[in-house]
Amino acid sequence: MDTAYVHGYTDPETRRLGDQADTLAELLHAGTAYPAGSRVLEAGCGVGAQTVHLVARSPGAHLTAVDVSAASLAQARKQVRGVDFRQADLFDLDGEYDHVFVCFVLEHLTEPGKALAHLKTLLRPGGTITVIEGDHGSAFFHPRSEHAQAAIDCLVRLQADAGGDGLIGRRLHPLLTGAGFGDVTVEPRTVYVDASRPGLVAGFTRDTFTAMVEGVGETAVARGLITQDRWDHGVADLHRTAREDGTFHYAFFKATGSRP
């Protein structure tokens, strides 16, 4: 499976993923709970940041969590018990499941439609899939800053150059229908942050989104996508949105579908 994980596998990235999952747990997982005894596959579990919340909301389900990275799985096993963790490429998966959960995975794949089509073959007839993805084009903020937007655009460009898509949230409906899923529905899950929501200021604006953008700075400058001065200005302006008079907006997209 070709992937485009531009964020790397560093300790700071592991912490960022945990911060993101914990901060957004209610927003992203609301409405997702699996019956006791059901067989659930989490495809691309990474360090287990979302697995923790899947187990908490569906304690009686039989959860299998799969990732291609042994290092990520080692982190995941430390986070949560009672899960069947397996190392495997998504396209090598087999078996039959009642439900599939995929979060922040498709954006890193060079062939997301092909991946969804394969995941459909793992579902029993009538089984469901839940897919959650972000869309960096949905980020807007106050104070407005062309430098901050240029820094975000570098992240989108680097991910595209690696074969991924940082704007994939807006594509979920055509991707799922194209893969043959039925009853496809997509809804935005919006994060809006201002000074009245200090938990989100720290947990999302600063420690999730801005940290994610900061993580690609060295590569963006080295590849000539942006100058160091302009990059530093852009990151400083992103941090500026987390101050008392700043605001920040971002939309995730949550899609569900079923195997006919």
Please report the DSSP string for 76-100 in residue order: HHHH-SS-EEEE--GGG--S-EEEE
Query: What is the pTM for the complete model shown?
Result: 0.91
* Tally of CB atoms within 10 A around 222: 9
Q: Residue ranges of the chain with pLDDT lower than 50?
A: 5-8, 16-18
Q: Please choose, from the candidates 55, 187, 148, 163, the residue with its C-alpha nearest in 3D space to the C-alpha of residue 114.
A: 163
CATH number belonging to the domain at 9-140+162-191+249-257, selected among 3.90.110.10, 3.40.50.300, 3.40.50.150, 3.40.50.2300: 3.40.50.150
- pLDDT of res. 5: 45
Question: Which sequence spans correspond to the domains of the chain?
Answer: 9-140+162-191+249-257
- pLDDT of res. 16: 46
Widest pairwise Cα distance in the chain: 55
Give residue 170's identity as a one-letter amino acid code: R
CA distances from 136 to 151, 155, 176, 212 (A): 11, 9, 20, 11
As a whole number of angstroms, the distance between CA 215 and CA 211 comes to 6
Which pairing describes strands 140-142 and 84-87: parallel, antiparallel, or unpaired? unpaired
- pLDDT of res. 48: 95
Tokens representing 15 are: 């912490």
- pLDDT of res. 22: 77
As a whole number of angstroms, the distance between CA 42 and CA 119 comes to 10
Q: Work out whether the CA dihedral 133, 21, 152, 219 comes out positive or negative.
A: negative
The answer to whether the beta carbons of residues 129 and 119 sit under 8 Å apart is yes
Element holding 189 (H helix, E strand): strand 182-193
- pLDDT of res. 41: 98
List, as own/partner pairs, every contact residues 157-163 make where C-beta atoms lie below 8 angstroms and the sequence separation is at least 24, other chains included. Answer: 157/220, 157/225, 158/6, 158/216, 158/219, 158/220, 158/223, 158/225, 159/4, 159/6, 159/107, 159/108, 162/4, 162/5, 162/6, 163/2, 163/3, 163/4, 163/109, 163/110
- pLDDT of res. 1: 53
Length of the chain: 260
What does residue 194 show for φ and ψ, rounded to 5 degrees? -145, -175
